[in-house]
Amino acid sequence: MEDKKGVIKNKEKQDHTTRKETEKKNREKKTSAKQSKKAVEQTKKTVETRETAAEEKIAEFQNKYIRLSADFDNYRKRTLKERIELTKTANAEILLNLLPVMDDFERALKSMKDTKGCKEIKDGIDLIYNKFSEFLKSSGINEINAMHKKFDTDIHEAVTKIPAPEKKLKGKVLDVIQKGYYLNEKIIRYPKVVIGD
């Protein structure tokens, strides 16, 4: 019986030791699980932080791309507009230099009206004048109609004032010394006029 008691005590000791070891292992597992859970949470936070930083960088690069694209588009539009303006300016200078030729044609036609004979020469000059006039019109040049219009300092250049022959002509253009011209609705040469006073 003592042998049985010794075996039972021995068994109880073993059970107690096994229970302690099992409890210890369970505690270690819980600690290990808590540590694993903390490590997973820490890793998750790190990943989220990096993901947020990456998203911010992506947004920053997208914003830079959009701005750069807009800047380039504006640059392209501006250079195109400048090129068009340069062409218009160059054309305007050429056309402005041709206006005295038009004046000479008009003077020649006016002086030929009074002379007799040379009908063929008159017709030839008239033909050239008409072609030249059409060329200027097709290039955007239009004459400013100033005769008997109210004097406007924005459009007319006053050369002199003379007494108006009639009351209704007071403050109006009585004579055009030199014709003025528009180039596409922009004045390139102001008409030189005489005003009724």
The predicted pLDDT at position 1 comes to 53
For position 74, what pLDDT does the model report? 94
Phi, psi of 150 (to 5 degrees): -65, 135
> Quick one: pLDDT at residue 143?
92
DSSP code for 171: T
* H-run or E-run covering 188: strand 186-189
For residues 196 and 165, is the Cβ–Cβ distance under 8 A?
A: yes
Residue 21: predicted pLDDT: 75
Q: What's the half-sphere exposure (Cβ side, CA atoms, 13 Å) at 194?
A: 8
Spell out the domain ranges in the chain: 2-139, 141-197
Q: Which fold has domain 141-197?
A: Nucleotide Exchange Factor Grpe; Chain A, domain 2 (2.30.22)
pLDDT of residue 76: 94
What pLDDT score does 68 carry? 93
pLDDT at site 99:
92
Beta strands in 29-185 (DSSP E): 141-143, 157-162, 173-178, 181-183
pLDDT for the residue numbered 41: 85
pLDDT for res 5 = 61
Instruction: Walk along the chain (197 residues) and give the pLDDT tens digit of each residue.
Output: 555 665 566 666 666 667 777 777 777 766 766 777 788 888 888 888 999 999 999 999 999 999 999 999 999 999 999 988 887 777 888 888 999 999 998 888 888 877 777 788 888 888 999 999 999 999 889 999 999 899 988 999 999 999 988 888 888 999 999 999 998 888 999 999 999 98
